Structure 1
Amino acid sequence: MDAGQGYATVNVKRATRQAAALTLAGCLMNLVVIFASPRKSADFTIIIAGLVMSALALWLPWHRWHPLTPALLVVPHLAIQSYGTYHGIASAGGGYYVVIMAWLGMNFPVKLVYIASPLVVASYGISLALINEPVAGLWKALTTAVIAIFVGVALAKNVSRELIARQQIAAAERWRAALAATLAHDLRSPLSIIQLSVETVKAETDLPPDLDDLLGRTLRQVGRISRLVAGLMDMARIDAQGELRLDLATVPLAEAATEAAAFVGTPVTVQVAPGLTVLADVDRLQQILVNLIANAVRHGRPPIVVHAYEIEEGVRIEVRDHGKGVPSDRRTRLFQRFQSDDGVAESVGLGLWIVDQLARAHGGQAHFRPADPGTVMGVTLPSARGSIADDLAAR
């Protein structure tokens, strides 16, 4: 990795602010030392130098220069600390050198830590040699430098590994998003033609039973791929827009749930009060309900029950099945993308993730809880009345 890569956008600003804060903290501690000892009360040179350095760290146009330029601040840091050590003013002693190297390691490549290492030894060693025995001073300086260098190198390597990992994740995410969007776009039209053709042939009344069964299985697989394409398109849309555009309206929940249940085509019991309403995008609400009901049908057992009730945060919508439930090792990953049950061929692993994203877009959230027997999946959405609904409507 190039020495300058990865430090141009974030670390320059962070490094200079940290340098200024570090110097100001040193000034405050040195003030305490000065006022605590009358012998040093007249020497404010180190305080003035620290304040000047803090001002330079904050106000110089570092962003216009090479991203590694703020590392030069380590030189005046060491000079000020050496002066304070020699005059007996520096409050932190060797510990301050460790902090300086930690700052360097947190913000810059490891090679700069190695380059600064002789400066640490010289800064601390010379000042100690002038006020103590030269051998003892040099030994103490070397000991402190080893600790400081170890801390700086360890931090620099950790930061470098984290930066590389973030870059790899970002690159993989961009590739995945592009692939998903391309697949969804390119598969949509061919799938529609295939589905229409198969349905046309299957509509014939004199088909042999084997052919009719084959066409039925083909339609089911086309339907599965169509759901995957729809999920990929929703995923790409969510990733691209960050926040979905919603056409909010007051929606009667009982009617929406009944319509979603009819769309799934499986017997579903809807237990929703007729007057209960939510503030939602009609199409997105249908998508939430259909995905929740389809998930219950696919992974659970009848009876499937849709229940909704008001809570303080809004309206809670729940879909319960009476199946075997969700294994404990999968519960924390339920609302992540591509988390499907390997035992269910029709599952593509995007339905619950889309439910969660759509709920968040409405200002709510998805949730899960085990039942006895079965599973309860649901969302919390804003009621058609209340402050949350007013805020959403004002967007």
Structure 2
Amino acid sequence: MLGTGPRAAARQAAVLFTVAGLLALIGILNDPVHTGRLLIVAACDLLLALIGLLVPWRRVARHAPALLGLAGFAVLGLSTWSFGGVAAGTGPFLVLLYAWAALHFPRWILGLYALPATLAYLVPLILTDQPPLVLGSAAVLMPIALAVAFLIEAQARRLRDDRDRLSRIEQWRAAMINTLAHDVRAPLSTVRLVLEEIAEDADQAQVAMVGAALRQTSRIARLADGLLDVQRIDSTGHLKLDRAPHPAHLLVKDTLSYVREDADVRAEVDEALTVYVDKQRFEQILMNLVTNALRYGKAPVIVTFARDATGDRLEVRDHGPGIPDDLRPRLFGQFAVGGEQGVGLGLWIVRQLAVAHGGQATAEAREPGVAMVVTFPPPPVPAPQQ
């Protein structure tokens, strides 16, 4: 029912007419003399509500639901006549109809509404011989209704324009991410092949340098995959994981091999612990957390992995100044940090990958520093063999 377009407009009108029909039925209790007239009003309102709900509005012209508004004005006039010229309920509902129209239709339709709306208000008053003072209320009500409608229409139009602009920006961003990630992969494959060829004939000193280059090449490839992950998460809301049991200490050791050799990063992981995760995504989580700790915190960076009754807990702690208070509420959001040192996607990706595993990512204050904590659910219990 919420939203824009012919279908949403018609369904919202259906709600308004349903309310009007029910109010007409309730009005019978206060005015049993005009029961027959009020039943006709209620029937007309409910019929318009059914039309709003049942007609396939997506197949008709964009502004076709505006016809419901014209019919609604006619029923309003019938309602005023049914109540003997009492317009206490007609005026507010007329403004409400105008407000509904302003949310969905352009100004020229609101202008076209002016004459039928005025007639719907005045004709029943004239037919029931209301005094000039009551007739003169139209001179106040109609300008107010139009002014309210034009204000709502202007605001709604601006919001639609902003939404369209953001949609175009998002399409451009998605195209840029996809293009960048795919274009990075092709030259990386060539670089990796060349480095592997060099490694075959390299001496001991060169092997170490080529090995470091190969590790960084793999890291860049994972960064490209991370960009694609951002796009997949934005478009589908979830990631498909390939979870399996892995030795936790080997996962941590392999991941930390990509960290520069002079970095003071220490690991404390039980060698007997097996973790049930997606290997590539776990490495991505840990690498993002360690890189973030080295970039914004202070050494030493301590990596621990432990298990308790609730599941597995990965913790990456630095000994820096901690998290500024103004950054804390948006720490795990997209582009939360950014600036000259990065684009600010690392912690957002960490949280998304943690949630995909069924866990969560949080930041805990330490003295000194901060600990980034990612929890994982406990590994599944193997089914008993029969």
TM beyond 0.5: yes
Aligned Cα root-mean-square deviation (Å): 3.7
- Partners of 2:107 and 2:246 lie apart in 1 by 58
In the alignment, which residue of structure 1 is the partner of 2:281?
Answer: 284
Alignment partner for residue 153 of structure 2, among 145, 148, 156? 156
Which of these residues, 162, 168, 171, is aligned with residue 165 of structure 1?
Answer: 162
- Partner of residue 25 from structure 1, selected from 16, 19, 23: 19
2:10 aligned to which of 16, 19, 35: 16
- Deviation of 1:293 after TM superposition, in Å, equals 1.4
State the SS of the aligned residue for 1:66.
coil
Residues 224 and 136 of structure 1, relative CA distance in 2, 3 Å threshold: farther
Distance 1:179 1:253 in 2: 36
Task: Say if 2:216 and 2:258, in contact at 8 Å, map to a contact too.
Answer: no
Q: CA deviation at 1:124?
A: 0.9
Partner residue in 1 for 2:31: 37
The Cα offsets for residues 346-385 of structure 1, whole Å up to 9 and x where unpaired, read as x343322222222232233332233322122232322214
Q: What is residue 303 of structure 1 aligned with on the other side?
A: 300
1-structure distance, mates of 2:340, 2:47: 67
Cα 1:325–1:224 shift into 2, 3 Å: farther
The aligned counterpart of 2:54 is 59
User: Is residue 4–residue 104 contact of structure 2 (8 Å, CA) maintained in 1?
Assistant: no
Between 1:375-384 and 1:227-236, the stretch displaced more is: 227-236
Q: Does 1:122 align with 2:119?
A: yes
* Number of residue pairs matched by the alignment: 373
8 A Cα contact 1:126 1:138, kept in partner:
no
Q: Structure 1 residues 309 and 41, CA, compared in 2 at 3 Å: closer, same or farther?
A: farther
Q: For the residues of structure 2 that align with 1:29 and 1:307, how far apart are their CA atoms?
A: 66
Q: CA–CA distance in 2 between the matches of 1:310 and 1:16?
A: 55
Pairwise CA distance, 1:69: 0.3
SS in 1 for 2:257: helix
Which structure has more relative contact order (CA 8 Å, sep 6+)? It is 1
Q: Per the alignment, in what secondary structure is the counterpart of residue 66 of structure 2?
A: helix
Secondary structure at the aligned position of 1:29 is classed as helix
Query: For residues 365 and 184 of structure 2, what CA distance do their matches in structure 1 show?
Result: 37
Cα separation, partners in 2 of 1:225 and 1:281, compared to 1, 3 Å: closer
Identity between Structure 1 and Structure 2 (%): 36
59-68 or 272-281: bigger deviation:
272-281
Distance 1:313 1:145 in 2: 65
2:186 match: 189
Aligned counterparts, 1:73-112, within 5 A = 73-88=68-83, 92-112=89-109
2:19 is aligned with 1:47? no
Q: SS in structure 2 opposite 1:30? A: helix
2:304 aligns to what SS in structure 1?
strand
Does 2:354 correspond to 1:370?
A: no
Shift of 1:324: 1.7
Residues 185-334 of structure 1 mapped to structure 2, 5 A cutoff:
185-191=182-188, 193=190, 229-239=224-234, 242-264=237-259, 265=261, 266-273=263-270, 277-309=274-306, 314-334=311-331
Instruction: Measure how far apart 1:21 and its partner are.
Output: 1.4
| In structure 2, distance between residues paired with 1:376 and 1:313 | 19
- Matched-pair contact (CA < 8 Å) for 1:128–1:141: no
Paired letter, 2:15: A
Q: Does 1:135 align with 2:132?
A: yes
Deviations 1:270-302 (A, max 9, x none): 344556555421211111112111211222112
- Checking the alignment, whether the CA contact within 8 Å between 1:68 and 1:108 is kept in structure 2 is yes
State how far apart, in whole Å, the 1-side matches of 2:51 and 2:204 are. Answer: 86
More deviation in 29-38 or 277-286?
277-286
Deviations 1:292-325 (A, max 9, x none): 1121122211221223455786434221111122
AA of the residue aligned to 2:374 = V
**Matched position secondary structure for 1:307:** strand
Q: Flag structure 2 segments of 5+ consecutive residues without an equivalent.
A: none
| SS of residue in 1 equivalent to 2:258 | helix
Whether 1:381 aligns to 2:379 is: no
Q: Normalising by structure 2, what TM-score?
A: 0.82
Tell me the alpha carbon deviations over residues 29-65 of structure 1, each in whole angstroms, 9 at most, x when there is no partner.
1212112223223332111211221221111222211
Which residue of 2 is the match for residue 69 of structure 1?
Answer: 64
Task: Out of 326-335 and 141-150, give the one that drifted further.
Answer: 326-335
1:18 Cα deviation after fit: 1.5
TM-score by length of 1: 0.80
Q: CA deviation at 1:228?
A: 5.3
Tell me the CA shift for residue 133 of structure 1.
4.1
- The residue number in structure 2 matching 1:6 is none
Residue type of the alignment partner of 1:269 = R
> Aligned to 1:270, what secondary structure does the other structure show?
strand
The yes-or-no answer on 1:358 pairing with 2:353 is yes
Q: Deviations over 1:209-267 (max 9, x none)?
A: xxxxxx9xx99998997675454344345446543221122344444233323332544
Residue 198 (structure 1) shift: 8.7
Change (3 A) 1:314 1:12: farther
Q: CA offset at residue 335 of structure 1?
A: 2.8
Letter in 2 for 1:13: R
